[in-house]
Amino acid sequence: MNPWVLALAAIAGAVVLGVVIAGWVRGRARMGTEGQMATYRTLHIASLAAPALRAGLTESAAQRSVKHLRNLLGVQALAITDDFSTLAWDGVGDKQREVAATHARAALDSGSAVVLSAVQAREVSEMLRSGIAAPLTSEDVVVGALVAYSDESAGPALMRAVEEVATFTSGQLDLAELDRTRARSAEAEVRVLRAQISPHFIFNSLTAIASFVRTDPDRARDLLLDFAEFTR
């Protein structure tokens, strides 16, 4: 092939590569700094866990949220427990998941985060070196725990991270309880209104409507529809 053709092809290729790299750099700049992207990723993962937790501390909710919470912490395994058992597990050592409820006991009893020993961590998997259990609360009552396991020694950073994720999770459980309280309040209001519709009230209403059946049928019809809507 003509050397000039090869040279032109090489130059064209370099130009195209330069354009691609420049576009990638501009795209990265538009997306934000590394710190901003890290913040976005953290908030995005938290938003994935939140909807399930708004259902309360149930087995189904725990199973749907545990993977996202583990991704937030970046640990090798994470368990969510209630007072008695392990509700959900994600990560290594799944066959030993029930031991997490035992590891959570100190956090449940004390109401504060505790560091697990290396021996406890190895009860889950030989690759693990440490663990931290942090309580979960609902309306200031301890209802469960997060138990995180790591293949590194537990330090202040991991302790703080687990506590923060436990606080976030507890906040969602509080919102779930608030939703239930509102629903109970609405149901109670409906029961009160139904109780106020006494047989005497119904008799008087139907008698008043009947009085218009012959003299003003259209009004009787409207009153009957209003009464039906009210009692519905």
CB–CB of 165/73 below 8 Å?
A: yes
Higher-pLDDT residue of 198 and 139 is 139
Q: What is the pLDDT of residue 133?
A: 95
Over residues 7-31, the pLDDT tens digits come to 444 444 444 444 544 554 555 545 5
CB–CB of 224/209 below 8 Å?
A: yes
CA atoms within 13 A on the CB side of 212: 13
Neighbours of 223 (CB within 10 A): 19
- For residue 141, CA distances in Å to 51, 109, 199, 201 come to 21, 11, 44, 45
**Residue 130 — φ and ψ, nearest 5°?**
-160, 170
Model confidence at 128, pLDDT cuts 50, 70, 90, reads: very high
Q: Characterize 33-58 residue by residue with b for buried, 16 or more Cβ atoms within 10 angstroms of its Cβ, and e for exposed.
A: eeeeeeeeeeeebbebbbebbebbbe
Amino acid at 63: Q
Higher-pLDDT residue of 90 and 198 is 90
Residue 2: DSSP 8-state? -
